[in-house]
A and B are shown apart, each in its own frame.
Chain A
């Protein structure tokens, strides 16, 4: 729904003008950031998984300082423990991970005497259905447009999906969240389009089947990430609370999140 509102606010921007400005920001205290994304890409065995620890830095700095020296482990409900070794500064890798659908995983990080913990569930496999392409998208009806259809047999429990799309024109991915409750019979779709896209361009599309807790996290995160330009009507911005907890002091929880997902990956060539 949020997208639609953004679409409407574009109309407001019709009159307005955007300008990049210099703002003096006071830097706040440094915080730990955890990016623990265990994604089992369909068609692979999911053995190689990476967890990255970093630190916050001044807003306009290009640096993203990494955090070394932590002990990172993931344990499943059968007490199988996977050790993530620091192979590069702040980059912790496990090469023997054995993912299993509907299994609960626990993240355990020890850093400077503090234990951080989180849990997540690996959701079931998503079935790819079809891609339909057309070239009458956008306001001018001349943009390339891609409709991506997928489905999931499990219609009983709530279903949540994160869509990640990358194209050659943007260095950062585009994210979109789907709440399965808005669709019928376990059949889902997303529509994407861009005036930049040309025949032959390669797009990378990923559908992550995610848990409700992580869905909530991502909706808070994307709300403050401002991927879609300026907004005349501001919604309140706040610190994005993650799903990883500091076991000593919950007031000092780290930023970032832990997710375990099944992921459908597709390359799309624009026709």
Chain B
């Protein structure tokens, strides 16, 4: 590995020394209508095959010899623009792209030129425009970012009722979810039925399943980068929708034209209002809401400020018996500054937190936990020359964990007040990523991230014999909590345990021609935060815990190779990728582990290793009335806890077992058809292997109840999962002068009402005493209607 890095460095130096006398063309690419910046737009010089893409803030910079050029600017869903320019000296040139609007006369305009990326080494990345997400049929008509991702190759989840998503065999807590660059700790409302992203407030999403740039750290599986809109800088607009579950309203517009704009969006469910009408349930409620805000202010061509915010909560209330509130909030202040036309910078100051509160009135119990973090990031894009772009930066995070406090909720309660000690940690990162075009055909991205993490005081840390917080009882053959032999006290800000890791990231693309390329990548990533969860998918109650004396950081090595092809004039594209992933230090739990409110979580944790491998095929039709894709994934994700010595058994007898979300075959076919200006249709079919499960080998009676006697973990499989969803969108004709545009979306989820198994559990009927197997299905057929409008 060291040699590879040295070679790459020499390569890098050689490219710098040969740089010639050139001038810089730079600028931003925006949407003509809304003034929104366009991220990842292609800026291409037709005469000499040079090109670049805009960065996260729509900025591009290109090095050219003085002369005449034809510049082509293109992006998904926009009309391609070609401009002739003559450049003598450095030049700032901003572009405005027009939405390729199918509402215009022609129907057969390219709706989605989502072609496979041939020449860039970036692989394993899926971009989705909000329009695509909105066009897909969804349960109860609730447009859902996360559920759309699951349609992509290599992405799955632990079933319909499960929150989060799993990328290439990784767990849900291994995804870095960024909203405008700020980390979110949970992505679901209503325990996983809906995701927290208001589709109207989002501009686009990008999912890195591999080939993750060195810019991103602190999670080992994937990065989901979600960008909120800046707000229309030309005109005031209202957007909204009324659905079965929730309604949303979003306002955006200029504050000072061309200088600043704002966006405020809210969404709330209102099913609970109907509960209020019933006599029996009038004191109960279950709802969620979220609020998205963004302000931006362009000081001058060199400086722009952005302020984004998100606040979301889920609320459940059952009389005075139970009150459960949880959610994320975040604020992010960013400053874009151009040091020169070649050096773009962004400074971010982020605060985010996740709160969970539960009050059980009937037992006089109150539980509260939270995680807060302060994050400072400084990122640079340095456009050295037409062959080299450097991305580098530093990051520092301060974490404040409040893992939980139990207190009596009233004076008569004899519940003992118990507070798990607060935990603190710092995380630092520095990275350099080099985008290097070696030749017409070969492009490389190589980089290194250095990350540092330390758990810091004040905290008292338990000490154990042989440093083992979990002991094995050889007679009973069980793992048990060890009894601490003492305590070590750490003062405020004193380092309890520090870790640092070097994370190399390399990817390359070799293009045979304009339409064919092969790609390969290698990633190492470290994750210092762990979600304490013993269920197949995260629950809102789960607590994040930092690495420390007894919990080591998770480390992943990911290898991927791929082939990308566009054919028939980019009408179709095909991407095939294969990956292998090795994971170290994943947490697993001893049998009967109590995870909630546990003051010494290290006493129930064992360290697991993981491996995942798979093959992904992604075939798309990009143009015409009918667009869509078929994605197929063949994969395996497994985990193992080996015994620490000869006397122990490990978990599951030390054998590999399949992850709960492992699905051997996963096929999705999604199609969208535009009939005419008024009607469009979409359908989506999913076929998956059933999720792994454990069946009992036999049973016995103990204490007058029957106990299933389970064998090895996840050796059986639930029945295959399949369903078909359809939807139709009707946009009534509008008068030219009217600003109000509305559309009706009619959908049917699970059209043929397949009762898919979410789980099969074995239990004893309490009334008859008979044993039975019970299949739990989440959604049968669900029709829905939604009205969306724009003003």
Contact = CB atoms under 8 A, between A and B. Distances in A.
A232 interface: yes
Interface in A9-25: 9, 11-23, 25
B537 A230 contact: no
Interface string A197-236: 0000000000000000000100111011111011111111
A21 B763 CA distance: 12
Contact of A231 (B360, B694, B696, B761): B761
B701 A21 contact: no
B763 A226 contact: yes
B705 A56 contact: no
A23 B698 contact: no
Interface string B764-790: 101111111111111110000000000
Contacts of B416: 181-184
Interface stretch (A26-34, A40-48, A105-113): A26-34
Contact of B779 (A15, A184, A189): A15
Interface bin, chain A: 35 or more
Contacts of B713: 236-238
Contacts of A221: 702, 707
A21 B775 contact: yes
Contacts of A30: 698
Interface centre among B480, B709, B769 (most CB of A within 10 A): B709
B284 A139 contact: yes
Interface string B521-544: 000000000000011110101000
B775 A18 contact: yes
Contact of A19 (B476, B652, B771, B777): B777
B414 interface: yes
Contacts of A171: 766-769
A20 B697 contact: no
A250 interface: yes
A126 B288 CA distance: 45
B299 interface: no
B535 A185 contact: no
Given A23-B760, A227-B705, A236-B534, A33 B779 contact: no
Contact of B535 (A21, A230, A235): A235
Contact of B697 (A13, A27, A220): A27
Given A16-B778, A175-B703, A234-B536, A183 B710 contact: no
Interface string B580-597: 000000000001101011
A20 B772 contact: yes
A20 B774 contact: yes
Interface in B721-773: 755, 758-764, 766-773
Interface string A42-67: 00000000000011111110101000
A183 B764 CA distance: 31
Interface string A168-190: 01111111000001111101110
A236 B777 contact: no
3 interchain residue pairs of minimum CB distance: A28-B697, A220-B592, A226-B763
Interface of B: 158-159, 161-162, 190-193, 280-281, 283-284, 286, 316, 318-319, 321-322, 324, 358, 360, 362-363, 365, 406, 414-416, 418, 474-478, 480, 534-537, 539, 541, 591-592, 594, 596-597, 652, 660, 693-711, 713-714, 755, 758-764, 766-780
29 contacts: A1-B596, A4-B358, A4-B596, A15-B778, A15-B779, A16-B778, A20-B775, A22-B773, A27-B697, A28-B709, A30-B698, A33-B700, A33-B701, A37-B703, A56-B700, A183-B414, A187-B414, A189-B414, A226-B708, A230-B763, A233-B535, A233-B539, A234-B536, A234-B693, A235-B535, A237-B696, A237-B713, A238-B713, A257-B702
